[in-house]
Chains A and B, each alone.
Chain A
Amino acid sequence: MPALTPSQTIGPFLRIQVPYEGEERMVAENDPDAIHIRGTVYDGEGEIVDDALVEIWQANRVGRYAHPEDNREELPLEEGFTGFGRCATDSEGRFEFITVKPGRVPARGGGLQAPHIDVSVFARGLLKRLVTRIYFPDEAEANAEDPVLSSIEHPKERDTLVAIPQEGGLRFDIHLQGDGETAFFVV
């Protein structure tokens, strides 16, 4: 059987090809449920990371993934909503997505997960992607019983995955290393 192809860094010049125009706008700005998720990527010295690619993957507002393996036909798919977004950080290390809060999806072995968005971070200096999740601050109860969030032992680290409400949306900063380091997962 063939062996896996190793990962390599995305390098600093990803903008030659990715992302494509508008990939950070997953719903129309005038969608009544639209939320802006903004954040900055920082390195271990607190410097901004201006050459990262942030990708997100999520279910739609009723909790259905636009993917053949989510076969729960009773939940409608939404025309034009792919659930996938990409944004390269700008010269100040910032990214921004316009999306909707996803509905709850099944947890492993039963029950529901709290609303969440899967995140991949690629950058120069990252030889493989980092994976984290965005959870929502207005979902305290669901967050408390979410098996993935609860698997992070220390409350301070767990809190790095919960977005912070701010004027006009939510804030989700990503700290690759050091003080306030974001909790990352092995998927």
Chain B
Amino acid sequence: MSSAGSEEQATINEEESTVASELTRNGEVTGYRHDGLEVDPPYLYPDYVSTRTRAPKRPLVPLAHTLSEVTGPVYGEDRIGELDHDLTRQYEGEPLGERIIVHGRLLDQDGKPVRNSLIEIWQANAAGRYRHDGDRHPAPLDPNFAGGGRAMTDDEGRYEFVTIKPGAYPWKNNPNAWRARHIHFSLFGPAFATRLITQMFFPGDPLFFQDPIFNSVPEPKDRERMICRYDHDRTVPEWALAYEYEIVLRGRQATPMED
């Protein structure tokens, strides 16, 4: 491009950014989509006993997104250590259990990758015990497993963790209650409005039928999407089974001021 051309381009860019910041000053924001949120559980789900005293009783107030909700925390790559995504290499020795790879993409509702976004996970060890003072389950702790990790998605929204398959464990929700095996996932996405905490489950778990947290999601097809898929192509021979888990966050509305 000629130097005159670049100058012209620079002027256009400057004009565009002036227009964009003028829109921001005037409170013209494009909110995040509200459709599709019916996949979420209700606050009150009596079978999950803790919701009875923690679910709000008054109706929630709708909040049309402002600049405050379409912005959100930006985590830099600098916060992530090289081994933070590998829960099997945090100690001298290796943790006990079935080593697995959990990988996938973080997408929005339009199928676009959510790039450079922080993912945090935590889980029980192979025996179904969390390394947490509050966990009284009489199963052994593993000196080589803390159970937490984090990763950033790449330019295509991809992430990968190496961990061990968590065990099932009992809880006191009701007699003989057991949690299906799961890994907790915390996602940020680009904005306050896209924040999500969820749990990833494993295919074929016999405990699904009696797990009220899993079943709090109203539609069976939506529960299915919390279950990862065994991925033979990504399984590493003589080393680890792989599971693919795609996560979808809210997408952007098409035009400003839609709601």
A interface residue numbers (CB < 8 A to B):
1-18, 43-45, 47, 49, 51, 55, 57-59, 65-73, 82-84, 105-111, 113, 116, 118, 120, 122-131, 148, 151-152, 157, 176-178, 181-187
Contact = CB atoms under 8 A, between A and B. Distances in A.
A125 B41 CA distance: 11
A12 to B, nearest CB: 6
* Max chain B C-beta neighbours (<10 A), residue from A3, A72, A116: A3
B257 interface: yes
A120 B63 CA distance: 14
* Max chain A C-beta neighbours (<10 A), residue from B20, B196, B223: B196
Given A73-B21, A118-B69, A126-B43, A177 B53 contact: yes
Contacts of B61: 151-152, 183-186
B195 interface: yes
A16 B131 contact: yes
Given A2-B107, A70-B24, A105-B67, 11 more contacts: A7-B198, A11-B184, A12-B134, A44-B52, A69-B67, A69-B71, A84-B72, A123-B54, A125-B48, A148-B66, A184-B61
Contacts of B199: 8-9, 11
Contacts of B60: 184-186
B73 A4 contact: no
B42 A129 contact: no
Contact of B66 (A12, A47, A106, A152): A106
Interface SS, A side: loop
Interface of B: 17, 20-21, 24-29, 32, 36-37, 39-43, 45, 48, 50-58, 60-74, 107, 109-111, 120-123, 130-132, 134-135, 146-150, 184, 186, 191-193, 195-199, 213-214, 216-217, 222-223, 225-226, 246-250, 257
Nearest to A18: B120
Contacts of B40: 4, 6-7, 127-128
Given A69-B70, A187-B63, A16 B146 contact: yes
Contact of B41 (A2, A7, A111): A7
Nearest to A185: B63
17 contacts: A1-B109, A6-B39, A8-B199, A8-B216, A9-B50, A13-B134, A15-B132, A17-B122, A71-B24, A125-B48, A128-B40, A148-B66, A176-B56, A177-B57, A183-B61, A185-B63, A187-B193
B94 to A, nearest CB: 19
A128 B38 CA distance: 12
Nearest to B58: A181
A65 B67 contact: yes
A127 B27 contact: no
A17 to B, nearest CB: 3
A5 B247 contact: yes
B184 A10 contact: yes
Contacts of B123: 16
A69 B62 contact: no
B73 A131 contact: no
Contacts of B39: 3-6
B63 A17 contact: no
A109 B257 contact: yes
B27 A110 contact: yes
A130 B104 CA distance: 27
A69 B24 contact: yes
A18 B120 CA distance: 8
Contact of A127 (B45, B65, B69): B45
